[in-house]
Structure 1
Amino acid sequence: MKTIRTAAVIGSGVMGAGIAAHLANAGIRVLMLDRVPDRLSPQDEAAGKSLADPEVRNRLAAEAILRLKKTNPAPFYDERYAERIMPGNVEDDFARLGEADWIIEAITERLDWKRELLARIEKVWTPGTVVSSNTSGISIAAMAESVGESMRTHVLGTHFFNPPRYMPLVELIPGPFTDAAIVSGMEQVLEQRLGKGVVIAKDTPNFIANRIGTYGLLVTLKLMTEHGYTVEEIDAVTGPAIGRPKSATFRTLDLVGLDTFVHVANNVYEHVDDPKEKENFAVPGLLTDMVRRGWLGEKGGQGFYKKLKTDQGSRILALDINAMDYAPSAGAIKSASLDAAKTAKGAAAKCKAVLSGTDKYSELAWNVLKHVLAYAAAKAYEIADSIADVDKAMRLGFNWDLGPFETWDAIGLTESAARMEAEGIALPEWVKSWIAAGNESFYTKQNGTTAYVHAGRYAEPADRPEHLSLKSLKAAGRTVLSNSGASLIDIGEEVACLEFHSPNNAIGADILTMIRKSAEEVRRNYRGLVIANEGRNFCVGANLMLLLMEAQEEEWDEVDRIIRMFQQAMLELKRLEKPVVAAPHRMTLGGGVEVCMAADQVCAYAETYYGLVEAGVGLIPAGGGSTEMAVRAGESGTDPDDDIQPALNKAFETLGMAKVSGSAPEAVKLGLLRSTDRTIMSRELLLFEARNAVIGLKRRGKAFHGEKGVKVAGRNGKAVLKLGARTMLEGGYISRHDYKIASKLAHVLSGGDVAAGTLVSERYLLDLEREAFLSLCGEPKTRERMKHMLATGKPLRN
């Protein structure tokens, strides 16, 4: 197998283009090919072009690249990455496939077309090139029969889920002749280069996730029609109440597209032999009728839901399947069991709560789950090597909080299995034997890891030292220090990790105290410090509720004390003699960014949404964030006499507009991350890579972060910044309060009323930002913004 530096994607539709974009995100050069158009477009005709013109012949792929740039959510981490994709066509550029390290076919789901394409690829194929299909369910073996033995060993399935950038699952499907080294090599590429969660699927219809997910959706449809539930009732029960995403059943179908779902269901129906299973995958007449009418979901403008635009705004209508018409929402579905699920903490507790009820929604939840769990058990070893792979596929591919076997453990394996059998649900022999042997769960804790049932015993997963887990390390007794907001954990190699675990990982006094204690502990006993956690988001900022309460009581000395404590904790990190590496992921806002700015290096997960957003609540960054942006502006030139105003203007715009990056690379573009910071594609490898970064920094020697002079733009630079803000105010782009915030920010970033080029200390800048923050806390409009954010989660522009 070649080292993957270049790739070719054949097919520029939604999936082909999306895969090409994500390969470009990973730094891979991509050739994207599609067919040659058989007619000119109106634009071609207007430009006087002919079908022989290269621009016309490459038009389909070129248009796909343009669509990618306009797609929301963005397929690229940075729009400039589109330059890594070159458009072409399958007539003029086919021979260039021989130059690629990896060829991916993403054409229409027809076996005959895919076989023909592989046979054609074989003529230009070079040894070592991997050839994969993005099929969602067609047999890899059947495709590979069209090529000779040498290439056949390099053919496999790589089933990406849509959209490829955001959906973490890739099912890797070896054919019967695929070389084991190719499978292993591609697993590494998908995990480490593309950041994907990989499961090895067996070459069966629809593989793992779509096999079980499609079955579950069809079962739910059947229950709805048999028992008279409404679309909204089904979605109220089959969402978070049973550990599924908010899109539940019918919003999910609308997102996927009903025609796509019908195709996937038909693929199983046509390729399984068991008559009963065929019956389970028979597409109900309701779906067939909706597809015939063009009610395909979001792409058709209506499906099980329809968005209606009115003068009063948008309204969501739900389909009445009896009248085949749309009606306004009946409002939130309420019941004792659903209310119990809402108040329960965590997916496992929610499942137990809803099933413990006695109302019709509890009955519906049970009837859905009992069929899905029994089917998953019956098919587990037919479609995968382990139940762990099945659970992982459903979590990553369908966004379930718990896979089917994890769900079964959560609701009580032995009790629920007995109830299923009492209600006539057939369970596979391996499940009955497992329970009969006295086992009460599919998973158990064993030697510090989570073991799962396999071949009649608990089996530990293969050792993956690069998959560091704070949860497992804490379970193994590696916690060094802890309080209510954070813990310090020994993660091996003489490196410690500071983990936030307050509600939403919001920074309060407990975390600030732990930062200072951790710095002392690391100074004495460790090579360095990683700051990371395994929460849904890294950190959403400081504890805004606490700050608001103190401001409302006009306890200004207490507010000042809190901000001083925050600033001092950041200085502790910045001045620590040992290396500090921050490893943020997903939402990293406000104080969370300031913590990262105090680190020597940031190893950010690619999907990190990073921003100093204090202006949105009427404040400026005051935990060192404004100071750090001023420091970076002062260091922006290569020569001491270089003008720092352009960098200062950029920082002012980023902070004043509370910009949040759409990815880690975009955070570099905004100036919030440095070019020396790293982007890590895999969430599972983030902690491991951060630990390695600490070791590398220690080996090279940490740069001195003592007190230093900061070059500032002074009163002249402040005037430039305020002029820009005044222009926006007069143009109606910002409010008067926005202008007041911007003026305070300009004062801090420019270093106050000193001469241009003056060298000031960081502590001087910290004093400026703290004073500005305190004065803004006293503003009624700022407090209104803070209240609104706490109540709605959205900024108020007053």
Structure 2
Amino acid sequence: MSSNAAAMRRVAVLGAGVMGAQIAAHLANADVPVVLFDLPAKDGDPNRIVTEAIANLVKLNPAPFAVKERAESIQPANYDQHLKELRSCDLLIEAIAERADWKADLYRRIAPYLNERAILATNTSGLPLSLLAESVPETVRERFCGIHFFNPPRYMALVELIPCQTTDPAILDLLETFLVSVLGKGVVRAKDTPNFVANRIGVFSMVAAMHHTQALGLSLDLVDALTGPAIGRPRSATYRTADLVGLDTMDHVIRGSALALRQDPWRHYFTVPDWLNALLEKGALGQKTRAGIYADKGKQVLDPATGDYRDVGAQADEVVRALLKIKSPTEKFAALRASEHPQAQFLWAIHRDVFHYAAVLLAEIADTARDVDFAIRWGFGWSMGPFEIWQAAGWRQMVAWIEEDIAAGKAMTATPLPAWVKQVDGVHRPEGSYSAAEDAYKPRSTLPVYRRQLYPEQVLGEAPPRYGEAAFENAGVRLWSSGDGIGVLSFKSKLHMIGDEVLEGVLEALRIAEQRFDGLVLWQTEAPFSVGADLAQALPALQAGDIVAFENAVAKFQRTTAALRHAALPVVAATQGLALGGGCEFLMHCDRVVAALESHIGLVEVGVGLIPAGGGCKEFALRAMREAKGGDLLPFLRPYFEAMAMAKVSRSAEEAKQLGYLRTADVIVFNPRELLYVAKTQARALAEAGYRPPQPRKIRVAGRAGIAACQMMLVNMRDGGFISPHDYRLGLSIAHALCGGDVDANALVDEDWLLGLERRRFVELAQTPLTQARIEHMLKTGKPLRN
């Protein structure tokens, strides 16, 4: 069977519940034709169950669709009328309720309609594949497997791929290729064991936290203060995560684990506490019912002892916070273990027991320790997986401490550590990660799809990435190459802010690249692309009244973006995460942008009381002229004006195209690890096509008529109380720069004219007290001030 991901020409999702509908949404995001099935409605439109599910998707937050219009790409269907549609589907993803008998009935019903190459996959979160396979016709069993998405499917990186004994290995390769490149997922191949990999370890980590919460008498909000970012876990920590997931879901998972994990030495800990049962009985299921462990929009938290809510406010003790700030993981864990403070004891205990559990289970649930660590990172949002944390803290010392605690009866079970933990110094090495089942260090997958990941995500202990030979480097940037004729320019500043060192570096790097390379890619080794200009660097000159120096800095920014636009070689930007303000303007001046789906792009200068002045207004004026094709400019200028005046930021790369920050020819990729590969390919293609830089040209502008039209919008917003007088002034300044200033409608001006308007308005605004207050507030708080 071909390993080409394009072989998935059409996909059916069976089940329009929460998971099935969102899986269908993400397939639609990726332009994969998708048919969403469910039972026929008992009255009215037979497809009503599916159409209502799709309508509900549009209302969800976070949004399952990259843009709302993607909802129209899902074809509704029901099992009574449309089973013939399955004949043209290459992949069927079953996502109905976790009932083996219901799944068996569905498999028997759809079997006659499957084509000879169709893959049947179940999205079960824990039912044995071997059991489900018994209900699959023998002719289909080699094409049957598990494909477990995590919720919400658009945003959660992890997908577990689970074979059963009859699964053809080529099927798994094809699915992994499709999931990784087309849907942008991190794939872990799990064994057919209860709860697979991520939920087996992740749910236990929550059970262990609940056990130690009660044993040490800690409050629930205190545990969340301890188990969030302070230890490399999500802000939702432990109990807020339970509310997000849904307490009914937690109850189902815990009870299901207790039934499934009959041989698990920790099985008796998988019990639902009385306080959780009480919440379930009241229908307080978490965020979806607006009350659960937390209530009143998170301002109150349950007191398990009384069953009442109290104000949130518990914080980690100062002594424990100091321990968590110790940089050396070895010293940190030694200090936590030695401390008699209950909070420190709690933190030591939850780590110790997860290490213990993961070590005992490794051979049973996963091929390598790498799979466990990636599963927890991608599925539960930890910054490091359990084996990585253990290895960073000192493998052998931790083994000794865990064994001491087991012998002393402090661990959750007396089950000994497996023998292999004493025979290794760690589970991750440059040559591979440890497989307990095979007693060997195994390298990464050699599937061809991973060649597109030039710098794949790493686990602790692997050889650090080498980013090629430097051709130029200063305090702000590094220009380097891997010997393929394409230069790569990466910023070195915090959050890749654009200050003087970056501007100097970009200008010099462009000069060198024009001499040495066929193309240039702007790519950061980690997100974000850039949060914009370094305001802290520019503020002192402004406060000192040195307006000449301040304006010169703005002019230098403009020279840099112009140099990107008119470079003698193709320049391609690769972006993920934030590209704001000046970062967005850098993108707008490149010949092409390759953007990860989860890119948040926008010209947000009004948030700090300024307007785009790195060529953003000029670029939008140029784009409007091209789109108008000689006709009325205003309909094309209006959305660009609104985007800048309202500081709109895209919630996806596709929405960035709708807002105009990206162009139709710009490329969207779903796996951010493929950004550099695709960007280099685009640069190479432009170079091979005989690239010539665009020449400066006259720009037809809307002039005074355009400014007046924008001003009418601003007056209505100001008089309606939607914007402040200063926002009105900012919007009017944007209108002047976008429409070409005090000239006739349809006048022709050059780029320098528009850049001059941007620069002068920018400098004028920067001298106002209200703008300076906005800048200072942003620098202090990281949040915009609306004054």
Equivalent of 2:47, from 51, 58, 63? 58
Q: In terms of mean alpha carbon deviation, does 367-376 or 404-413 score higher?
A: 404-413
In the alignment, does 2:44 pair up with 1:33?
A: no
Equivalent of 2:429, from 435, 444, 450? 444
Q: Distance in 2 between matches of 1:355 and 1:616?
A: 46
What does residue 468 of structure 1 align with?
454
1:720–1:3: structure 2 CA closer, same or farther, 3 Å change rule?
A: same
Equivalent of 1:283, from 272, 276, 294? 272
Equivalent of 1:184, from 160, 173, 176? 173
1:753–1:340: structure 2 CA closer, same or farther, 3 Å change rule?
A: farther
1:724–1:24: structure 2 CA closer, same or farther, 3 Å change rule?
A: same
SS in 2 for 1:787: helix
Structure 1 runs not aligned, ≥5 long: 39-50, 308-313
1:246–1:118: structure 2 CA closer, same or farther, 3 Å change rule?
A: same
The total of aligned residue pairs comes to: 767
Q: Deviations over 1:395-433 (max 9, x none)?
A: 010000000111112222121111111111555435434
Contact 2:533 2:582 in 1 (8 A): yes
- Aligned amino acid, residue 238 of structure 2: T
SS in 1 for 2:735: helix
Contact 2:222 2:315 in 1 (8 A): no
Report the Cα offset of residue 492 of structure 1.
Answer: 4.3
Contact 1:501 1:535 in 2 (8 A): no
What does residue 383 of structure 1 align with?
365
For normalisation by structure 2, the TM-score amounts to 0.93
- Aligned amino acid, residue 22 of structure 2: G
Report the Cα offset of residue 373 of structure 1.
Answer: 1.0
- Aligned amino acid, residue 586 of structure 2: V
What does residue 342 of structure 2 align with?
360
In the alignment, does 2:92 pair up with 1:103?
A: yes
SS in 2 for 1:496: strand
- Aligned amino acid, residue 601 of structure 1: R
Q: Distance in 2 between matches of 1:429 and 1:389?
A: 18
Q: Deviations over 1:507-546 (max 9, x none)?
A: 1112112211221221121121111113342211111222
Q: Distance in 2 between matches of 1:631 and 1:774?
A: 23
Report the Cα offset of residue 266 of structure 1.
Answer: 2.6
Contact 2:565 2:693 in 1 (8 A): no
Contact 1:335 1:359 in 2 (8 A): no
1:622–1:170: structure 2 CA closer, same or farther, 3 Å change rule?
A: same
Q: Deviations over 1:339-369 (max 9, x none)?
A: 453x567999987886686633222111000
Equivalent of 2:556, from 547, 552, 565? 565
Q: Distance in 1 between matches of 2:336 and 2:574?
A: 37
Q: In terms of mean alpha carbon deviation, does 287-296 or 730-739 score higher?
A: 287-296
Structure 2 runs not aligned, ≥5 long: none
Q: Deviations over 1:661-682 (max 9, x none)?
A: 1110111111111001011111
In the alignment, does 2:723 pair up with 1:723?
A: no
Report the Cα offset of residue 265 of structure 1.
Answer: 2.3
What does residue 263 of structure 1 align with?
252
- Aligned amino acid, residue 312 of structure 2: S
In the alignment, does 2:690 pair up with 1:701?
A: yes
Q: Distance in 2 between matches of 1:397 and 1:485?
A: 35
In the alignment, does 2:532 pair up with 1:541?
A: yes
What does residue 770 of structure 1 align with?
759
Report the Cα offset of residue 506 of structure 1.
Answer: 1.3
What does 1:668-707 correspond to in 2, within 5 Å? 668-707=657-696
Equivalent of 1:514, from 479, 499, 505? 505
What does 1:629-640 correspond to in 2, within 5 Å? 629-638=620-629
1:316–1:749: structure 2 CA closer, same or farther, 3 Å change rule?
A: same
Contact 1:338 1:354 in 2 (8 A): no
Contact 1:78 1:665 in 2 (8 A): yes
In the alignment, does 2:192 pair up with 1:230?
A: no
In the alignment, does 2:313 pair up with 1:324?
A: no
Contact 1:243 1:350 in 2 (8 A): no
Report the Cα offset of residue 759 of structure 1.
Answer: 2.2
What does 1:401-550 correspond to in 2, within 5 Å? 401-424=383-406, 426=415, 428-435=417-424, 439=425, 441-445=426-430, 455-463=438-446, 464-469=450-455, 475=466, 478-550=469-541
Give identity over the alignment, percent: 39
What does residue 47 of structure 1 align with?
none
SS in 2 for 1:585: strand
In the alignment, does 2:545 pair up with 1:554?
A: yes
- Aligned amino acid, residue 33 of structure 2: R
Equivalent of 1:23, from 22, 27, 33? 27
- Aligned amino acid, residue 665 of structure 2: T
SS in 2 for 1:583: strand
Report the Cα offset of residue 165 of structure 1.
Answer: 0.8
Report the Cα offset of residue 317 of structure 1.
Answer: 0.9
Q: Distance in 2 between matches of 1:794 and 1:355?
A: 38
- Aligned amino acid, residue 263 of structure 1: H
Q: Deviations over 1:578-627 (max 9, x none)?
A: 11110110111111111111211000000101100001111101111111
What does 1:209-248 correspond to in 2, within 5 Å? 209-248=198-237
- Aligned amino acid, residue 233 of structure 2: R
1:412–1:453: structure 2 CA closer, same or farther, 3 Å change rule?
A: farther
Q: Distance in 2 between matches of 1:350 and 1:755?
A: 69
SS in 2 for 1:685: helix
In the alignment, does 2:771 pair up with 1:787?
A: no
What does residue 132 of structure 1 align with?
121
In the alignment, does 2:617 pair up with 1:626?
A: yes
Q: Distance in 2 between matches of 1:772 and 1:346?
A: 50
In the alignment, does 2:101 pair up with 1:119?
A: no
Contact 1:12 1:33 in 2 (8 A): yes
Q: In terms of mean alpha carbon deviation, does 709-718 or 59-68 score higher?
A: 709-718
Q: Distance in 2 between matches of 1:361 and 1:718?
A: 61
SS in 1 for 2:575: coil
SS in 1 for 2:451: coil
Report the Cα offset of residue 160 of structure 1.
Answer: 0.8
In the alignment, does 2:153 pair up with 1:170?
A: no
- Aligned amino acid, residue 511 of structure 2: E
Q: Distance in 2 between matches of 1:325 and 1:175?
A: 47
1:334–1:277: structure 2 CA closer, same or farther, 3 Å change rule?
A: closer
Report the Cα offset of residue 642 of structure 1.
Answer: 1.8
Contact 1:337 1:356 in 2 (8 A): no
What is the CA RMSD across the aligned residues, in angstroms? 2.2
Q: Distance in 2 between matches of 1:526 and 1:590?
A: 28
Q: Distance in 1 between matches of 2:591 and 2:390?
A: 45
Report the Cα offset of residue 473 of structure 1.
Answer: 7.9
Report the Cα offset of residue 149 of structure 1.
Answer: 2.0
Q: Distance in 1 between matches of 2:47 and 2:777?
A: 51
- Aligned amino acid, residue 326 of structure 1: Y
1:152–1:459: structure 2 CA closer, same or farther, 3 Å change rule?
A: closer
SS in 1 for 2:77: strand
Report the Cα offset of residue 127 of structure 1.
Answer: 1.0
What does residue 721 of structure 2 align with?
732
Report the Cα offset of residue 125 of structure 1.
Answer: 1.3
What does residue 41 of structure 1 align with?
none
